[in-house]
A and B are shown apart, each in its own frame.
Chain A
Amino acid sequence: METKELDLWFTEEHSKEAKFSIKVLKQLHSVQSPFQKIDILESKEFGRFFTLDGYMMVTEKDEFIYHEMIVHVAMATNPAIKRVLVIGAGDGGTVRELTRYDTVEHIDMVEIDKMVVEVCKEYLPQTACRLNDSRVHLHFEDGLRYIRSKEDAYDLIIVDSTDPFGPGEGLFTKEFYGNCYKALTNDGILVNQHENAYYTSYAQSMRRAHCRIVNLFPICKVYQAHIPTYPSGHWLFGFASKKYDPVKDLDAEAWNRLGIDTRYYNTELHRGCFALPTYINQILERDS
């Protein structure tokens, strides 16, 4: 006789009126850190996944999309990037993609919550696998505090933060972006996860973040990716740069010669991902 499975679901509210659910096989870990609640769950559809305060962070099945897109667009725009600062990203996926470049010499990763890194090292080796790379230096502190004293120090800053409520809030502020500008070299690039533009509450934080960056950097673009487990499935990234234009300055051949094996990113998509739907262009234009 077939045993009946437990009717256990993970549900995240994507808006007040819309929810997203994944059937859960079992809960592997649950712990309250000084900052947030960390949960590791196992599912059939998305594999193992990790949530903070009940918000989806990473699933084994679709994390490649997010991590490839937050790293390779900037790396292909300026292959000379050597020094990188990653803020947030406790799951290690962003660092994993960065370590695929032999040319990257130094990676500082600043994550406020040490327990996130510990839990991910134990339960999500798929993303946390390169945190022990000799080029990677972990700092467990507030990103806003860390960056304040840095000047002309990084070629690339990646802000892989949680949503702008809770501990990630300071990473969506003008003072943070201003300090990023100061911490970047003359041809520096800032990439940040930019929320979605479909649900109103997220769209507002996206727009605010965008406006704040537009006032600081000469080149400001937004690009997109399809990430099934994030609200609306349509995720945006901010690309701000002091010198390089991500589309005009892309040397596709050079990047392709590196032979980095990817599953979502490619240089054709690189050009295309900056072409945004009209409703998003309208939101960005309206307030910038």
Chain B
Amino acid sequence: MNLLDQNRAPIYEALERYKSMRVVPFDVPGHKRGKGNIELTRFLGEKCLTVDVNSMKPLDNLCHPVSVIKEAEELAAAAFGAQHAFFMVNGTTSAVQSMILSVCKRGDKIIMPRNVHRSAINALIISGVIPVYVNPGINQQLGIPLGMSVANVKRAIEQNPEAKAVLINNPTYYGICSDLNTIAALAHGYGMKVLVDEAHGTHFYFGENLPVSAMSAGADMAAVSMHKTGGSLTQSSFLLCNHPDIHQGYVRQIINLTQTTSSSYLLLSSLDISRRNLVLHGKEIFARVKDLSGYAREEINKLGGFYAFSSELIDGDAVFDFDTTKLSIHTLDIGLAGIEVYDLLRDEYDIQIEFGDIGNILAIISVGDDMFVLERLISAMAEIKRLYQKDKAGMYNHEYINPEVVTAPQEAFYATKHAIPLQQSAGQVCSEFVMCYPPGIPILAPGERITKEILEYIAYAKQKGCFLTGTEDIYIENINVVGGS
């Protein structure tokens, strides 16, 4: 596909054409181009409402693309270096689930790190696929889980040669990358498919001097959150496919099992326009983003007390590479948990960052940022250090707890279960999730043994102000455990 084609945005162009035809709508949505909901139109804007339309012949249909969506998907596939790209409107969650469901069936094994996003483990609940967890290892100083080391993946593969796939989380939320090339070759050598949760890696395809992307490392499928760092609307995403054995029509069937049949053209056109923008301007955009986060890192490290980490963590193994567009900052040395700094930034300085966990915060730097907002963040960090710094004694810095998996997630989730007070649940097998959101990496997943250590961690996270979620009990005081009461 040449660059001229990439200047096109077929879905966007079809919507423009459709608008100019002034078609009288006797179809859904019932707001009829906004005229039936003046308040909403005033809030979102008339331009937005006029393209909130239904699938129809001139606009194609995401469930079975034959015209403009098909063309847009071909352009996206070429842009990402994939054989096929699926436009996704149910989030990257749906892309991750479709990936797993496309290559694994009930009872199959999949090798994955435990620090995956909940969407991956949800896929296991839906499908009955059995996880083989690879311990991601942890950086003791920072308390963050790392990538997968090749040796650990190799061991898991050798011990489970019947596994159908290896799932790699790359980059992690913190920007840590695994050795994709080696792991992909290794897995392929055993006939396993290679799936990559690349939710935080859209920019790897378009910028320069960034870690290797899943498609170029030879992965078979990847879930790419275009909306995270690529500029499209929230909830829009791509599922990339790069293996002749993975049949496009079958993947579409899998996607259609759970994806809406009323896909939003706001989301679809945002994917189309963003793909075009990144192909045409991605190099400059991400060079600038790297400069901005590099500058912020340097300035924040100058303040002392904070540690904005970067490529110095690279060790050729569990930290094979680092995504320097990320701004991750370790805060424990000033005696504040990441989540506390996250709350201070929002409550005191009107600055919203992506997330704070026990020891770190993460700020997303993107095409939409400039020097002025970075100066605000840096200055606010300086002020937080000046005004709130305290002794760091008693600060917890343990983020990853290696789980004991007793039963498969699906089995545990659907098992006979009963609720007991969380703090009395040590020793039991958990039937649901407990996690902080964000980042949405489960502390406990269905089928795992609850330990005293895990309960202490949950209590600490709660006390520091983490937003806990996952349990049926919205107050996270009771937990469902496997077995009759």
Residue B372 interfacial (CB < 8 Å): yes
Residue A174 interfacial (CB < 8 Å): yes
In B358-386, the 8 Å CB interface with A consists of 371-372, 375-376, 378-380, 382-383, 386
Q: Which listed residue (B350, B371, B379, B387) contacts A148, Cβ 8 A?
A: B379
Report how far A142 CA is from B350 CA in the complex, Å.
Answer: 19
Q: Which listed residue (A142, A147, A169, A174) contacts B349, Cβ 8 A?
A: A174
Q: Which listed residue (A145, A147, A175) contacts B380, Cβ 8 A?
A: A175
Given contacts A148-B382, A176-B379, contact A142 B371 (CB under 8 A): yes
Q: Which listed residue (A148, A167, A173, A174) contacts B378, Cβ 8 A?
A: A148
Residues in A with CB closer than 8 Å to B386 are 178, 182
Report how far A174 CA is from B347 CA in the complex, Å.
Answer: 11
Residues in B with CB closer than 8 Å to A148 are 299, 375, 378-379, 382
Nearest Cβ distance between residue B55 and chain A, in whole angstroms?
Answer: 40
Residue B245 interfacial (CB < 8 Å): no
Report how far A150 CA is from B236 CA in the complex, Å.
Answer: 45
Residue A170 interfacial (CB < 8 Å): yes
Residues in B with CB closer than 8 Å to A144 are 372, 375-376, 379
CB-based contact B350/A170 at 8 Å = no
CB-based contact B382/A174 at 8 Å = no
Interface residues of B: mostly helix, strand, loop or mixed?
Answer: helix
Given contacts A173-B350, A174-B348, A174-B349, contact A179 B372 (CB under 8 A): no
Report how far A99 CA is from B376 CA in the complex, Å.
Answer: 31
In B320-359, the 8 Å CB interface with A consists of 348-350
CB-based contact A170/B382 at 8 Å = no
Report how far A106 CA is from B357 CA in the complex, Å.
Answer: 45
Which residue of B has the minimal Cβ distance to A177?
B383
Residues in B with CB closer than 8 Å to A169 are 372
CB-based contact B382/A142 at 8 Å = no
* Between-chain CB contacts (< 8 Å), 24 pairs: A144-B372, A144-B375, A145-B378, A145-B379, A147-B379, A148-B378, A148-B379, A167-B372, A170-B372, A170-B376, A170-B379, A173-B349, A173-B376, A173-B380, A174-B349, A174-B380, A175-B376, A175-B379, A175-B380, A178-B379, A178-B386, A178-B387, A179-B383, A182-B386
On B, residues with C-beta under 8 Å from A are 299, 348-350, 371-372, 375-376, 378-380, 382-383, 386-387
Nearest 4 A-B pairs (CB), nearest first? A175-B379, A175-B380, A178-B383, A144-B375
- Extra contacts, 17 of them, besides A148-B299, A170-B379 (Cβ < 8 A), are A144-B372, A144-B379, A145-B378, A145-B379, A147-B379, A169-B372, A170-B376, A173-B349, A173-B376, A173-B379, A174-B348, A174-B383, A175-B376, A175-B380, A175-B383, A178-B383, A179-B383
